[in-house]
Structure formats: structure tokens, C-alpha cells
Amino acid sequence: MHLHVGNPVPEVKAKNQDGVEIDLNDYKGKKIVLFFYPQDGTPTCTATACNLRDNYEALIAKGYTVFGISPDNEARHQKFIKKHNLPFDLLSDPDHQVMEKFGVWAEKKLWGHVHMGVLRTTFIIDENGIIEEIISKVNAKNHAQQVLK
């Protein structure tokens, strides 16, 4: 499924780092930044998460609730959050069901090898559950600025 600006957000139910199920329907009335990333602890993923952390107050001031989502399990998310003092929930999607709904689980090429992986993408969702913006060219070190522009 390929989503576009103006589409309603697909149903999202995934466990956070504490094993608590998060349902995006519970966040209607709030703006959401949902960033998909490949793996906790990799350099680019860490830069993205830390940039959002460093600009978290500005994101909150604009009314955003921030969620990261990757295939990593809850325990890995806990370590990543603790190590980098991340103030937002990280959701676990080990079977890629949410990623497939958003069209971000896809073929990737790395050094001539084709494999399935996460397309680093951020969805900005408005208060009504409508996709307001899709950032497919994530600038890891300035991602919050891409969201806040």
C-alpha cells in the first residue's frame, strides 16, 4: 500500500518499549510525528532519534506527539531509549505489519545486494488522523527542522 498526503492513516497498533499496546486511534485530536527507521543503535537511526530528542520541546510546543517505529523488540527499544535519553515511545513492529500498511517495508539495494528493509520515512498526521506530510528524504541530523518547517 502506498500512502499519500490526504489519506487517512492506517490502523496502527503496536507495543511500545514497555510492552504496552499503543493504538493511534487513541491519539485522535493530537498531531503525530511517526518516524519509521531500520534499527536501534545504528549511526543514522541514532542521529535521527537524537535530533528529535534535542528538539523535543519545540515539537511538543507545536502540539506533536512523537513515535518511532522499527522492527526491534521492546528490550532493544528500552536500551536505546536509556542510552540516548529519548523522551518519546518507540514502537516494535517485528513482523512488519505496520510498515507494510505504510508502504515502508520494501526492497532495498545495498552494495549490489537486494534485501527487504525499512525505508526511512516520517509521516506527519493531523488531529483528524489524516496524513499531512510524508518525509521520504529524512535528514538525520536536521530531522526536527524538516518536521517543524
Residues identified as active-site: 45
Cβ-count burial 105-115 (b if 16+ within 10 Å, e if not):
beeeeeeeeee
How many whole angstroms separate alpha carbon 91 and alpha carbon 76?
A: 11
Looking up cell 510525528 gives 33
Q: For residue 29, count other CB atoms closer than 10 A to its CB.
A: 8
Q: Which amino acid is at 21?
A: E
